[in-house]
Amino acid sequence: MKRRTKTKFTQIHVSIPVRTLEDLDETLDFNQSRSRIISKLIENYLEQDQVNIGSMTKRQIVISLMNQVDSEGPEYVLLQSLLQIFSK
C-alpha cells in the first residue's frame, strides 16, 4: 500500500473588501470551508494559461500571439506585419 504524503498548510493574512468576504460567505453552505474554496480559487488561477489582455498593449498582444504560432507559417507573417504597424 502506498503511503500518502500529508499536505502541509500555512496560515496567511490577506486584506480584502468586507463586501467581497460577505458575498463569499453567503455562497457557502454550513459544511463548506472558506479556506478550501479560497485554495481552490487560487489553484484555478495558477492553472490558467490565460492573460488579461485588457491590461496589455496591442504590441504585447501580438508578441504573445507570435510566441504561440509556428514561425514558418502564414500566421507568423501576418503577426509580423501587425507588429510593424503597431510599432510605428
Evaluate whether 63 touches 83 at the Cβ level (below 8 Å). Answer: yes
Are 61 and 79 contained in the same domain?
Answer: yes
Position 4 in a domain:
no
Residues 26-85 pLDDT 10s: 888 888 899 988 998 888 778 776 667 777 888 888 988 898 889 899 999 999 999 999
Q: Which residue range(s) make up the domain with 35?
A: 18-47
Q: With the C-alpha atoms ordered 62, 67, 72, 73, is the resulting torsion angle positive or negative?
A: negative
pLDDT at residue 49, as a whole number: 63
Position 77 in a domain:
yes
Position 5 in a domain:
no
> Grid coordinates representing 39?
485554495
pTM for the full predicted model:
0.48
Are 43 and 58 contained in the same domain?
Answer: no
Write down the residue that cell numbers 496589455 correspond to: 56
